[in-house]
Amino acid sequence: MIQVSRDHKITLPIEWTDAWGRKHATVTGNPIAFHAMRGLAAHSNGFQSIRALAVLMSMLGTIDRPGGFRHKSPFPRAVPPSAKPPNHPDQVKPNTPLSAGPLGWPAAPEDLFIHDDGTPARIDKAFSWEYPLAVHGVMHSVITNAWRGDPYPIDTLMIFMANMAWNSSMNTMEVRKMLADRHENGEYRIPFIVVCDAFQSEMTAFADLILPDTTYLERHDAMSMLDRPISEFDGPVDSVRVLVVPHTGECRPFQEVLVELGSRLKLPAFTTPDDERKYRDYPDFIVNHQTAPGSGVGFLIGWRGKDGKDALVGEPNPNQWEEYAKHDCVFHYTLPEELQYMRGQNGPYLQFVVEKGFRKFGEPILIQLYSDVMQKFRLAAQGRTKGRQPPEHLRAHRAVFRSAAVLVRTARARHDRCRSVSARGRHAAPDGDVSLVGLAKRVASPDPRRKPAVHESAHGAGERHRGRRLDLC
């Protein structure tokens, strides 16, 4: 790879200007690229493996250059991104909008969503000392945590777009037992379960209430730049789905349900200043919602403005859905060639994305070979910083706060043969490349938490009346 990057460079005659005002007559690149997603990330040490590939691409100079790993709008973004989750339970109050989004990128212990004693605030323990960098949450742990009552019990579990009883938990048989398990007094450990699904599934068998969803052929959908865009290398792309057939019976698109709930609850985003309903339905919401009043930035980037002639930014267009339908439901904005490369350091591009609402700030995006974010969590785990500290039962010993490979070897060793791991040993990752505080203890030691016994149902193994769940133990 080093030889290819050195001896087989690609040069394109495209003029561009960097963020420091220097003009370049060409764009050069090295024809090497990697791509890694869930397959590698889901394995042991996956976080570090993917990070190593990113560092390797950075060192070879292949990121957003010809022949290399190309960004897709709205990326690249700041490292770490500016969005942060709530960092204290006081920020979540009844009848009050969240002061921050439910997900984000913690950059230091001060950004963790924890109680004053260091315990998790979320049922899945995301953004806690156990999973500080769980950017998408830890969905697959919710049922197990709720069953344990760890960090707290819940009274209602709502499942949407996830068959957690079967293919999303990695522990199918035990999770099915947990869903039907009871306390010694006969009450379910998870008292009320709501499932929204388009089909009968393993999960619906445990539901107290089923909300029948529609298939993708029976609803409007938006693949938005504000969520999970489908962009190409040469510019932003978004798309929609429109109804092929109308939905029937009691089925209703869940996004319509959410708009209805938001409107009836009079959430600020769904009501006018006069306290009236703001959006008629989901399609109306997609067309007329803006990230801020008058920003012109909405869910869809195509055919904006009253006359539909604007792109990326513009007033809401009442005929936007019809325009998408006439153009195969896709909008593709092609960037000028001088904005298509080196976008983390391309001055005009950085200004462009701020103007179009893709980013808040126009500073260059620096590639970090050394992660200051991870080091802050490491030092806190070692007790070498002021401020928030992990609970003692999760504090990692410096001797084993190292690579996941070392931890797994330690965990697999017999108890009487376990040894401490030298911080300066012959291991591949000296000084610890594992960011998740407490992982060492969890891997190398038995789970200290009490595991409630799974009780057989006292009411028999049959179906409960009035839509209650099945006792499938």
Query: What pLDDT score does 172 carry?
Result: 84
User: What does residue 209 show for φ and ψ, rounded to 5 degrees?
Assistant: -140, 130
Query: What pLDDT score does 208 carry?
Result: 96
Distance separating alpha carbons of residues 455 and 177, to the nearest angstrom? 9
pTM metric for this prediction: 0.79
With a cut of 80, say whether residue 444 has pLDDT above it: no
Average pLDDT over residues 152-171: 83
Instruction: Quote the tokens at residue 386.
Output: 């002021």
The 3 state secondary structure assigned to 78-140 is CCCCCCCCCCCHHHCCCCCCCCCCCCCCCCCHHHCCECCCCCECCCCCECCCCECCCCCCCHH
CB-CB contact of 108 with 373 (8 Å):
yes
CB-CB contact of 140 with 151 (8 Å):
no
Instruction: Quote the tokens at residue 379.
Output: 């030092």
Q: Which residues contact 159 (CB under 8 A, 6 or more apart)?
A: 193, 194, 195, 196, 197, 203
What pLDDT band is residue 291 in, cutting at 50, 70 and 90?
A: very high
Q: What is the pLDDT of residues 401-433, one digit of tens each?
A: 344 444 445 444 544 444 443 333 333 333 333
CB-CB contact of 422 with 441 (8 Å):
no
Query: Nearest to residue 15, comparing CAs of 232, 333, 339, 236?
Result: 339
Beta strands 23-24; 27-29: pairing state = unpaired
H/E run at residue 443:
helix 439-444
Distance separating alpha carbons of residues 24 and 13, to the nearest angstrom? 10
Which amino acid, 45?
Answer: N
Phi-psi region of 167 (alpha: psi -120 to 50; beta: other; left: phi over 0): alpha
Distance separating alpha carbons of residues 223 and 395, to the nearest angstrom? 42
What pLDDT band is residue 452 in, cutting at 50, 70 and 90?
A: low
**Residue 287 half-sphere exposure toward CB, CA atoms < 13 A:** 21
Query: Nearest to residue 193, comparing CAs of 472, 458, 456, 452?
Result: 472
User: What percent of the chain clears pLDDT 70, i.e. is strictly above it?
Assistant: 83
